[in-house]
């Protein structure tokens, strides 16, 4: 049974996507993510992350650490978005409250 998001969750989702978009745009500017960001998913981000890791084995990108950090954040943020849309705000907020390693949230 699919239940549409109410106005409050739709508003939260909209602002959350804006936050995610800033990290995706940074990777897009470095030509790591595709130009069309509209159809990205957590699985696609993980695939691009693995491709980047395999491609970078020889010569590392000058901003390698920032890129890896942005990928990690994007994967976690996309997971949070899935939780929000599939399970609602309680599970979404618990994901951030109970995450064992919160340093990625504060960066």
Query: 69-103, pLDDT tens digit by residue?
Result: 999 999 999 999 999 988 888 898 898 887 766 55
Determine the pLDDT at residue 3: 76
CA distances in angstroms from 37 to 24, 66, 103, 107, listed in the order given:
8, 19, 26, 23
Determine the Cα–Cα distance for residues 40 and 44; give it in Å rounded to an integer: 6
How many whole angstroms separate alpha carbon 74 and alpha carbon 42?
A: 8
pLDDT in tens, 7-28: 998 999 999 989 889 889 999 9
């Amino acid at each position: 049974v699919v239940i549409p998001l109410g106005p409050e969750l739709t508003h939260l989702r909209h602002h959350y996507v804006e936050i995610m978009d800033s990290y995706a745009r940074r990777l897009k500017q470095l030509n790591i993510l595709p130009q069309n960001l509209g159809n990205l998913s957590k699985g696609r981000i993980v695939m691009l992350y693995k491709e980047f890791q395999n491609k970078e084995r020889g010569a590392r990108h000058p901003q390698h650490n920032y890129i890896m950090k942005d990928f990690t954040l994007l994967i976690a943020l996309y997971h949070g978005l899935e939780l929000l849309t599939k399970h609602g705000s309680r599970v979404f907020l618990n994901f951030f409250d109970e995450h064992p390693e919160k340093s990625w949230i504060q960066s």
